[in-house]
Homo-oligomer: A and B are copies of this chain.
């Protein structure tokens, strides 16, 4: 489908894309680059690319599809370096968790004749690095494309097809709406998970040993989320401030109400609030976005 795909950044998502492209035979050649020489050396051995370039410029030369897979905070400097090497007619895309900032930072640097179409695959694990990637990461998950005014419809269609061939379902969305939806479904949940891990760490009356020992009662699920890559998440919060603060404001209002219900011993309010979770959970399982396995018991199965 593509002659040459360039992957800039070879962590979890970049390496998974390499595996998925190979699985689907979606490119004649995959060239990878990572700013970290050690990552480049490890990636070369893992076989999810056909070649590892020594520079970003070399990686993107003659590529039909260039995908930025670095943390979002590095996009601007990467774009500056590669812009002059981008082939006319090439598609420049990315996998970042925020889209407004990407359009702001990268958009002005894209040469005329290059199709800039930001994208965001809603998939991941709590692990990082080139060894963490696998071909089926995107299977059944959603990838959101956020074309900008003037994006070429044919290029958008080609990118949509590419992600479908990587196993994903594809949705097209406005940039600002993407950032609000993700603030709600991803960014604020991660911020809260990181926060409660910090609270547990600092609570003098409960030792860290106790927190770890008794973590199966709920806390461990937050630590799993809070084990995600710190650089990636720093860049998300630096680059989606307004939407995160808006959702966080709502969360805080709701929590104040729930806190008051605990203080007042308002059992009816608590019960009603706790009941609402079950419906949304059911829908998530029915739509294939999670499994119904009783994962609190981890690998154990009902008799």
Interface residues of A, Cβ cutoff 8 Å to B: 19, 48, 73, 97, 122-127, 131-137, 139, 141-142, 144, 171, 177, 180-182, 184-203, 205-206, 208, 210-228, 230-231, 233-234, 237-238, 241, 244-245, 247-248, 250-252, 254-255, 258-259, 261-263, 265, 267, 270-271, 273-278, 280-281, 283-284, 287, 289-291, 293-303
User: How many copies of the shown chain assemble into the complex?
Assistant: 2
Which residues of the other chain, B, contact A247 by a CB distance below 8 angstroms?
A: 199, 203
The 10 sampled A-B contact pairs (Cβ below 8 Å) are A19-B303, A124-B296, A139-B300, A189-B196, A193-B218, A215-B284, A215-B290, A223-B290, A226-B277, A295-B295
Q: Is the CB of A202 within 8 A of B126?
A: no
Chain B residues near A241 (CB-CB < 8 A) = 262-263, 265
Q: Which residues of B contact A299 (CB under 8 A)?
A: 291, 293
B284/A214 in contact, CB under 8 A: no
Bound Cα distance A184, B206 (Å): 8
- Min distance, Cβ A101 to any Cβ of chain B, angstroms: 12
- Using A184-B219, A224-B290, A224-B295 as known contacts, list a sample of 14 further A-B pairs with CB atoms less than 8 Å apart, ordered by residue number in A: A125-B295, A125-B296, A126-B295, A137-B297, A185-B211, A189-B217, A191-B262, A196-B251, A199-B247, A208-B283, A215-B289, A223-B281, A223-B284, A237-B270
- Closest Cβ of chain B: how far from A127's Cβ, in Å? 5
The distance in angstroms between the C-alpha atoms of A195 and B256, with both chains bound, is: 10
B residues near A251, Cβ cutoff 8 Å: 195-196, 199
| Interface contact B287-A212, CB-CB below 8 Å | yes
User: Are B274 and A233 in contact (CB-based, < 8 A)?
Assistant: yes
Q: Are B216 and A289 in contact (CB under 8 A)?
A: yes
| Other-chain contact of A224, B190, B221, B258 (Cβ < 8 Å) | B221
B134, B208, B238, B293: the one contacting A270 at CB < 8 Å is B238
With A182-B217, A222-B189, A297-B125: A265-B238 Cβ-Cβ less than 8 Å: yes
B294 touches A230 (CB 8 A): no
Given A215-B284, A238-B270, A255-B195: A294 and B132 interface contact (C-beta under 8 Å): yes
